[in-house]
Structure 1
């Protein structure tokens, strides 16, 4: 009898344990269901990029990823880039339905909605030396730039008509915005070759800078004495859409201010409290980083050093992020603390 009672109690205990296990498993599944609901919850920063396709686990249905740059040094390749005090917009794939793939930046574009970028004199020089003038037939080379008093001073070398020796060149002039054409114009009113002022003499005989050198590059042309830059096409790797409504020069460099389209809703991002003073926020849509697909993106890349802006390079993003500290929260938010990154010096 005692043995029977003991077996009965053991069976009851086992049943009770199984019931508790079933209860714990059910609670776990309920919690997982709630988390999944959060993981697959779209939160676009503006209504214009709502889902275009039925959403699923591996496709949010939205084309593009919301982009917020806050106090970031953004580079495309090498030393070509700008500083963004604040920039809001979208990373948009050239192929509808494709995720934003950081290993293929040429397959996307930046659609700027509002904000400002600053190209320092060194970044402007890098843009010319590493990209615009970097082709075998170039008649201009080795630009160095300085900004003072609202004017841009350029020194370099010129090879008139593409023949003969390289000669020292000095340019000095103002920068203006042709808002209707979407072009940045640099029109020097002082030109020196071999250290001898020549602009006045050239004007007397009707010659212009364009008669001495040719410049026909994507996003950069020479029209008479004006050097014209199309900010939408002049950067390598990818294009930039958006409307620049103001441009000016100061000691920091060339400022470009983007204005939101008339009547557009303001973009609203939700960076976490721990974002700090310098970060990139990627919000909603689908993206690939290190060949990892992140759907319904909630990504924050923040500067590891509190007193140094985040430096991010599209071409070398793997090197930038390789030594960062990564954290993924239960709600699917992806954080990375990014250490300082030294941009490669331009080739000598």
Structure 2
């Protein structure tokens, strides 16, 4: 054993298809590597295999999934070996880590219901399924409105256009997007504003978010990680490429690790303990300038870039928090 606890844990990661993960940047793979480095057994569960059953004899069944036992390798192009595959009750694991990416669609919702049944059987699940359901990554900022920029959440076209007229320069985005998908910057006099609003809202049938455009985006959309309610001391500022208003790495942004500013820390220290008490072990805050714009709870990323540039091992800190939750420290 190279680090971590004196007892090996069986840790299952609920993920999207394994072959679609990119080891050179994926925080989930960083967590898996950290877990194995701490001496734990690592399993991957594709979310589509989650299920529940009982028996005709009345014996308890419970939540189950197809679990793939992995051995992690340092080669980012050939990063794992499959050493076993079996349909397994989730009760067999010491902890289950939910890392499936959005969209938060009906299948994601179903996964949280099934994982909640596993919780009822005593399985430790991180982040907690109920907390995932109750914290929309966009709407969650309403609880901490004192940190947020001017914002409106609505599907009413008149309300959205009034906000654009009043605010003059805004960002429009759907509530279920990720990675910068379908994000628009709209000026009050933009000739395309009507069609953009109509398209995003599906002619008033879908609720969206509008926020005041923050010019500080040029210095980066900062991803601040919270682990076990505590603030990671480095964030990743995702700086838009030329001609872009989105800092998302998937939209071509450049990630620059940097220490937290006093305002960053103020926001994170106010939010971290609140969300941790609700079962959110890992949270990613998005901060532009001095304003909180999103609270990411499904599958927060940027661990790899932060470690490469700052040396801080957020993935290892997360596994240590899991160990503590499992009673190993």
Larger helix percent:
2
* Structure of greater relative contact order (alpha carbons < 8 Å, 6+ residues apart): 1
TM-score by length of 2: 0.25
Q: Look at both structures and tell me which one has the larger radius of gyration over its CA atoms.
A: 1
TM-score by length of 1: 0.24
Larger strand percent:
1
